[in-house]
Structure 1
Amino acid sequence: MRTAEASLAISIALMGLLTGKTGTLNAQTPSAQVSTVSDTAAIEKIVHGNPSDHFAEDGSFTNIFGTVRYGRDEFVKRHIEIAQSIFKGTSVKTSIAKLRFVRPDVAIVDISGEMTGFAKVPPGLPVGSDGILRFKLLEVLVKDKGEWQITEYHNTAVTPEL
């Protein structure tokens, strides 16, 4: 005999096959958070693209040094500054460790990343002996008028093991 949760999971999987939607079950509630394949693709494109193009007017961000700033203009300004100075010439690779839709219009993305190619490592930046800065980035995205925007952006440098 199936439990109600197992039946719900099977129903969601069948709905996904029929409608082209994907879903995850939240262990705390019996309801499912369902997102479309196009929402997932749109978020992946944002994560691997230029975040400034999708940063909310009233968004907040914390950089790897712990500095907190607010607003799209400030986000764009600061990213231009660092691209032309301490991170000039570097390359970044990112991968999505986890993408979770907490509601159809709200997504939380855990991102792992690596930055390489430093001409000179800035003081206080925990770059490994291999020359790689590893970081974890948490983004909260909100879908408004059919478009996903980053509303929270928190970047943390990963300290190399000793």
Structure 2
Amino acid sequence: MTITDRAAIENVLHASAEAWAAGDGTAYGACFTSDASYVTWIGTPYHGCDEIAASHQALFAQFLKGTKLAVDIAEIRFYGPDAAVVSTTGDVYKGARPAPEKFSKTQTYTVVREADGQWRIAAFHNTKRKRIMEAISFKFAPKTAPQPR
């Protein structure tokens, strides 16, 4: 729970974005634990770094070819010396990076320090934001709006 730990966690998320931009499924999968769980924004579950790597290599070759991954860290909360939950916003994009207020997804990462001392992603969940539904909810039930941070 030091500045070094915080930087290491930020680095693993940035490394995942760099691997994504390079279209390198192996490097992307290496950011995850061997037993990681991964849920895409469309709800597809993957298990383990090998499956995450292989599936993303296929995605990088087809649907996600030439894309980049924007990851903006909103919060890192530590749960002991070897575990943290990271809340982010982000998006997949081509060309110019979208402004953070335009990001269409919210993600939750659980990161752990493994026996080799490296921080890796143990769980990832990605949700596509439905801004119109949020606005309707907030208008008719204002107490549903999150508190500003």
**Counterpart position of 1:115:** 92
2:5 matches 1:39? yes
Paired residues for 1:13-162 under 5 Å = 35-50=1-16, 51-117=28-94, 134-145=104-115, 146-161=117-132
- How many aligned positions are there? 115
After TM superposition, the score normalised by the length of structure 2 is 0.70
Unpaired runs of 5+ residues, structure 1, are 1-34, 119-131
1:133 Cα deviation (Å)? 6.1
Structure with greater proportional strand content? 1
Overall identity of the aligned pairs, in %: 30
Answer yes or no: is the 8 Å Cα contact 1:137–1:156 preserved in 2.
Answer: yes
Higher RCO by CA contacts (8 Å cutoff, separation 6 or greater): 2
Post-superposition CA distance 1:6-36 (Å, at most 9, x none): xxxxxxxxxxxxxxxxxxxxxxxxxxxxx11
Structure with greater proportional helix content? 2
Larger Rg: 1 or 2? 1
Over the aligned positions, Cα root-mean-square deviation in angstroms equals 1.9
1:89 Cα deviation (Å)? 1.9
Post-superposition CA distance 1:42-79 (Å, at most 9, x none): 10011122242221101111111101121111010111
Which runs of 4 or more aligned residues in structure 1 lie more than 3 Å from their structure 2 counterparts after TM superposition? none
